[in-house]
Amino acid sequence: MKKSLGEKIFDWVNGVLLTVMAASMVYPFIYVLAISLNEAADSNRGGIFFLPRKFTLDSYRIVFENNDLVNAALVSVGRTVIGTVLTVLCSAMFAYVFTKPEYIIYKPMKVIFFMAMFLGGGALIPVYMLYRSLGLLNSFAVYIIPYLVNLWFVILFRTYYIQLPKALEEAALIDGANELRIFFTIILPLSTPMIATIALFAAVDQWNSWRDTLFFTSKESLKTLQFVMMEVMQKAQARTMITRAAMKMQRIRQVQTADPVSVRMAITIVTTVPIVCVYPFLQKYFIKGMLVGSMKG
């Protein structure tokens, strides 16, 4: 069908707006990459927008010189994979219980759920004492167990389950299937869009987390990639402060050093690229999962 003038104008305006939005989302990443690949002293002059003016890998060299980087990367990958799988599974099973008001423990669990949702979290000291009593300190389990059930993920799963046809469960019950088999053979396979959405959220949370490493672990072998990157950035800042002090005392005009801004940009690239690579594989399911609740099929 031939489009009218109004439809053509509408499509053109939409195309321009979407292009501007896409550029505004992509440009920060290009800017960060350009600064990280530019010479630190030259970056302080400004004027870098798309391409590095003086190309160098000094910032990345500082990042990868850290001896703990490989072990930290393995720890981060391990906690992300294991934590994501268990978080999705436990949150999905917990949400399935909240679709069964006939259960005896439904009401008590509902009260505990909402109390934990609005009053949960707690201060650092009570949480630390709780983890110590549970034996989680200085163990890999401190990265996994506290994240097993996420209340927000439970709400998303429950919203999705309610939209599934009840006839499927009823037919399975007539055939003699128990609740556990119904969940794993019917409910879970039908929840692929929501599983992908929750898995993406959980993976990003696990990958970006570093405060639990700071507060609850002291072993070198348990350091995560984010925590090691934070240490590298702090060392770069301290080195720059010392160099600048030396420049003032000795009146040296130029001293070769890595600026903390360039190191920070390099760290941003190193820690962002791996998790960004996951998005293309989950994009289709992620969009479907985010639309849950907007319509019923």
At 229, the pLDDT band (50, 70, 90 cuts) reads confident
Q: Is 164 exposed, middle or buried (0-12, 13-18, 19+ CB in 10 A)?
A: middle
Bridge partners (DSSP) of residue 292 are: 295
CA neighbor of 283 nearest in space, from 223, 197, 204:
197
Give the pLDDT confidence score for residue 17 in this predicted structure: 92
Question: How many CA within 13 A on the CB side of residue 114?
Answer: 6
pLDDT in tens, 64-91: 776 777 888 889 889 999 999 999 999 9
The span from the CA of 166 to the CA of 177, in Å, is 14
At 55, the pLDDT band (50, 70, 90 cuts) reads confident
Give the pLDDT confidence score for residue 86 in this predicted structure: 94
Bridge partners (DSSP) of residue 55 are: 38
Backbone phi and psi for residue 186, each to the nearest 5 degrees, phi listed first: -120, -60
Q: Which residues constitute the domain of residue 218?
A: 58-290
CA neighbor of 268 nearest in space, from 49, 21, 34, 74:
34
| DSSP letter (8 states) at residue 101 | T
High-pLDDT (> 90) share of the chain, %: 9
Asked, for residue 24, whether it belongs to a domain, the answer is no
pLDDT: which is higher, 241 or 76: 76
Asked, for residue 147, whether it belongs to a domain, the answer is yes
The span from the CA of 292 to the CA of 32, in Å, is 34
Asked, for residue 286, whether it belongs to a domain, the answer is yes
CA geometry: angle 210, 158, 173, nearest 5 deg: 130
Structure-block tokens of residue 258: 């890595």
Bridge partners (DSSP) of residue 38 are: 55
What total number of domains does the chain contain?
Answer: 1
The span from the CA of 136 to the CA of 143, in Å, is 9
pLDDT in tens, 193-221: 888 888 888 988 898 888 888 889 888 88
Asked, for residue 11, whether it belongs to a domain, the answer is no
pLDDT in tens, 252-271: 444 444 556 777 777 777 77
Give the pLDDT confidence score for residue 38 in this predicted structure: 81
Q: In angstroms, what is the C-alpha Rg of the chain?
A: 25
**For all residues of the chain together, what is the average pLDDT?**
79
Asked, for residue 116, whether it belongs to a domain, the answer is yes
Weakest-pLDDT range from 144-158, 235-249, 273-287: 235-249
Backbone phi and psi for residue 259, each to the nearest 5 degrees, phi listed first: -75, 140
pTM for this entry? 0.73
Angstrom distances, CA of residue 90 to CA of 42, 96, 126, 251: 50, 10, 24, 61
- Give buried/exposed letters for 54-68 (b at 16+ CB in 10 A, else e): eebebbbebbeeeeb
Determine the 3-state secondary structure of 50 from DSSP. coil
**Structural contact between residues 136 and 145, judged by C-beta atoms closer than 8 angstroms:** yes
Asked, for residue 4, whether it belongs to a domain, the answer is no
Asked, for residue 132, whether it belongs to a domain, the answer is yes
CATH number for the domain spanning 145: value is 1.10.3720.10
Determine the 3-state secondary structure of 130 from DSSP. helix
Asked, for residue 14, whether it belongs to a domain, the answer is no
pLDDT in tens, 266-285: 777 777 777 777 777 666 66
Bridge partners (DSSP) of residue 295 are: 292
Determine the 3-state secondary structure of 44 from DSSP. coil
Highest mean pLDDT range out of 5-9, 51-55, 126-130? 126-130
